[in-house]
């Protein structure tokens, strides 16, 4: 029971941060993945033992790739700026590790190159 409560808090916190800090609407947003896919992304982050901040950046990065792939350039550009600012801030605060931050930023570069 204790682990479930932690997981529920993690999911809620990640969702809240995506909405409030990253300004990504996770509900009623036709550009955002559906609920099952979204929960799968949170599962992947949880299983990889990402911090809440790393999970948010992971999901934001995947969302960014989707925006690029679907041709939503303006939304992608605004999100890339947020990801960069938040990434630097969270790295400086010790909330995101260098290895993961580098991987997330590399993923953005791949999306920019159309890979």
pLDDT tens column, 87-102: 889 999 999 989 998 9
The band of 2, judged by pLDDT with boundaries at 50, 70 and 90, is very low
Q: What is the residue range of 49's domain?
A: 2-112
Q: Show Cβ contacts of residue 64 under 8 Å, excluding neighbours closer than 6 positions.
A: 76, 79, 80, 83, 108, 111
Give the residue carrying structure tokens 């990253």.
22
The band of 63, judged by pLDDT with boundaries at 50, 70 and 90, is very high
For position 95, what pLDDT does the model report? 93
How many domains does the structure of the chain reveal?
Answer: 1
Predicted confidence (pLDDT) per residue in 74-90, tens digit: 999 999 999 999 988 99
């Amino acid at each position: 029971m204790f682990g479930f409560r932690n997981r529920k808090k993690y999911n809620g916190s990640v969702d809240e941060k995506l909405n409030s800090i990253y300004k990504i609407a996770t509900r009623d947003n036709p550009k955002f993945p559906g609920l099952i896919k979204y929960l799968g992304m949170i599962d992947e982050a949880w299983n990889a033992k990402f911090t809440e901040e790393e999970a948010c950046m992971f999901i934001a990065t995947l969302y960014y790739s989707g925006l690029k792939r679907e041709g939503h350039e303006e939304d992608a550009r605004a999100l890339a700026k947020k990801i960069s600012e938040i990434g630097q801030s969270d790295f400086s605060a010790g909330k995101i590790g260098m290895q993961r931050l580098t991987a997330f930023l590399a993923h953005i570069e791949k999306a920019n190159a159309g890979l």
